[in-house]
């Protein structure tokens, strides 16, 4: 009888921040985790070592997911080393902010390629294995700005809104095959990005959040882990907003 392996989770952009927290949370729940990075091999290996120190299993993989060919190569490497991909968390993202009239084409395209197109290419590749096993979870990390918009981030907002649309399309296409596809839309989360906010701007943002604080990466990671679990078997095509009440329909 073939030995059953632990579920494998690929988390893109997991050398730091929200991706790191998600990788650690999934590892704590028994997943073998593929830690992905673009240029930060050292931090990625540190995350993998943290997983191993806690008794889990992890491996690191480098790839520029803005490139479709690199996405295919990443999937091949993960499957070859870890045996498959059961959970895909599309978290990789960059920002190149500017007002629309000042935004360069390369800054528009770069953000779309990294934040949105990568999720399509990786999902397309990972789905093949998920359909063979009849079980899979895809979680796309969007943002509240993809719902409400934001000044100076036309590229980022378009990409994050696109992830929500992609989520719904894939959920409808593959739900009957045992694959759920959902999105998480974080609000303001304590991170390298928010740490650099001017105090006046930080105070203004906090005033709009009913819970009166920024979120922690681990709080978003737990939401992602729920959507990746058997407990969320009847949840698909949804966007779970984790923002302290900032955005309310």
Report if residue 55 sits inside a domain.
yes
Residue 197's pLDDT is what? 78
CA distances from 94 to 108, 111, 224 (A): 11, 6, 19
Report if residue 145 sits inside a domain.
yes
Tell me how far apart the alpha carbons of residues 71 and 117 are, in angstroms, rounded to a whole number: 10
**Residue 2's pLDDT band (boundaries 50, 70, 90)?**
very low
Give me the catalytic one of 156, 174, 205, 234.
156
Tokens of 1: 């009888």
156 among known catalytic residues: yes
Give the number of domains in the chain: 1
Interstrand relation of 87-90 and 136-141 (parallel, antiparallel or unpaired) = parallel
Report if residue 3 sits inside a domain.
no
User: What residue ranges in the chain does DSSP mark as E strands?
Assistant: 8-11, 32-37, 57-62, 87-90, 136-141, 179-186, 239-242
Tokens of 126: 């990972």
pLDDT tens digit string along 134-189? 999 999 999 999 999 999 999 999 999 999 999 999 999 999 999 999 999 999 99
Residue 5's pLDDT is what? 85
Long-range contacts of 95-104 (CB under 8 A, 24+ apart): 95/153, 95/156, 95/193, 96/155, 96/156, 97/152, 97/153, 97/156, 98/152, 99/151, 99/152, 100/154, 103/154, 103/155
pLDDT tens digit string along 30-85? 999 999 999 989 999 999 999 999 999 999 999 999 999 999 999 999 999 999 99
Question: Hunting for tokens 């953000």 — which residue is that?
Answer: 111
Q: What is the CATH number of the domain that holds 224?
A: 3.40.50.720
Report if residue 247 sits inside a domain.
no
Report if residue 80 sits inside a domain.
yes
Report if residue 216 sits inside a domain.
yes
**Residue 23's pLDDT band (boundaries 50, 70, 90)?**
very high
Report if residue 187 sits inside a domain.
yes
Identify which has the larger pLDDT, 3 or 158.
Answer: 158
Report if residue 248 sits inside a domain.
no
pLDDT (mean) for 218-242: 98
CA-atom Rg of the chain in angstroms: 17
Its domain, for residue 221, covers 8-242
């Amino acid at each position: 009888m073939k030995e059953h392996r632990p579920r494998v989770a690929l988390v893109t952009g997991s050398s730091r921040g929200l991706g790191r927290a998600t990788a650690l949370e999934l590892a704590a729940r028994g997943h073998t985790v593929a830690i992905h990075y673009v240029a930060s091999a050292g931090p990625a290996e540190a995350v993998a070592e943290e997983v191993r120190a806690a008794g889990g299993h992890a491996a690191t993989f480098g790839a520029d997911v803005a490139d479709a060919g690199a996405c295919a190569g990443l999937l091949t490497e993960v499957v070859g080393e870890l045996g498959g991909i059961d959970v895909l968390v599309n978290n990789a993202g960059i920002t190149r902010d500017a007002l629309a009239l000042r935004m360069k084409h390369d800054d528009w395209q770069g953000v779309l390629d990294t934040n949105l197109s990568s999720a399509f290419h990786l999902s397309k590749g990972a789905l093949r294995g998920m359909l063979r096993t009849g079980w899979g979870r895809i979680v796309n990390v969007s943002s509240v700005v993809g719902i409400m918009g934001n000044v100076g981030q036309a590229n980022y907002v378009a990409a994050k809104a696109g992830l929500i649309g992609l989520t719904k399309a894939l959920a409808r296409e593959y739900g009957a095959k045992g694959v759920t596809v959902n999105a998480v839309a974080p609000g303001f989360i304590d991170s390298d990005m928010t740490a650099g906010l001017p105090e006046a701007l930080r105070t203004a943002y906090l005033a709009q959040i009913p819970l009166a604080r920024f979120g922690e990466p681990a709080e978003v990671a737990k939401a992602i882990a729920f959507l990746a679990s058997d407990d969320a078997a009847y949840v698909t095509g949804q966007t779970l907003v984790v923002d302290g009440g900032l955005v309310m329909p």
